[in-house]
Structure 1
């Protein structure tokens, strides 16, 4: 797999690239935002990048802004790598289209696990659902409509853009409203891993969904167990 490492510190990039290459990745480095965009332009040669590792502290532009531009350029999964550990920054990054968020300092094993997890989701499988009008796969819950065939989410008639994992998480819960999904089950089905460190990522994705959907009571936390989706009242 080709991997684009967006990192302006050559010493950090060299050490990380060496580890990644030992694990079979073909690594290219971009030292600033413009180089990253140049690498991702169609027709630049080579196979498309499978994953982008994006450091937010870049010399020429804000990493969050760059993430939005990368997302408009490629469908490759983006993992933000940064020292910003606050939840607000994590949610902001996910809202901009990042697929995951890793806080420095990190364990290389953790980073590798996250790379493999997002790459497995790069070509998402279409889930099941209830057949709605016109033959489309739809899950309808009050003002919320989840269209699994086209991977669209609509709230009160307005489409809400979600990342891959946000959509997969919402679809999983929406298929069985009122049923409590254990955290371990969600991580296994959405992230396809049993790796315990994914738990924090799950919490961030739930918070991001609540913010984007603007239905704060839709996803309920069942303390010590997991989450369930409670269908709001019909409008």
Structure 2
């Protein structure tokens, strides 16, 4: 596993330790949070479909609504806010498609 360190995102994720560093602090992510953030980082701000995230993180093909993904995304959003600060990166919901990581901004 390689560390994710994208200057335009403003945070650093070490997948081996699941440690997320940002300008406002550091925190350890859960295994699923780390896998979700890695998938979003790998997409380089492109939208990642819900099904792709489910398959990447849970390694299953899910038919129908899967609210576990939403719960993990909500927790990851809180962790990003805590480490990235008020103008740090955020996860945006793309209605009907999935999620994407938005770089820091005002």
TM-score (norm 2): 0.79
Runs of 5+ consecutive residues of structure 2 not aligned to the other structure: none
- SS of 2:78's partner is helix
Please report how far the alpha carbon of residue 197 of structure 1 lies from its aligned counterpart in structure 2 after TM superposition.
6.0
Question: Any residues of structure 2 matched to 1:112-123 within 5 Å, and which?
Answer: none
Q: Which has the larger radius of gyration?
A: 1
**What's the RMSD between the two structures over aligned residues?**
2.2
Higher relative contact order, chain-length normalized (CA < 8 Å, sep 6+): 2
Runs of 5+ consecutive residues of structure 1 not aligned to the other structure: 1-125, 130-136
Q: 1:184 aligns with which of 51, 56, 60?
A: 51
TM-score (norm 1): 0.38
CA distance in 2: counterparts of 1:166 and 1:198, whole angstroms? 19
| Aligned residues between the structures | 99
Q: Is the Cα–Cα contact under 8 Å of residues 45 and 102 in structure 2 kept in the other structure? A: yes
- SS of 2:62's partner is coil
The answer for the alignment partner of 1:220 in structure 2 is: 92
CA distance in 1: counterparts of 2:9 and 2:29, whole angstroms? 19
CA distance in 2: counterparts of 1:195 and 1:142, whole angstroms? 30
CA distance in 2: counterparts of 1:184 and 1:142, whole angstroms? 24
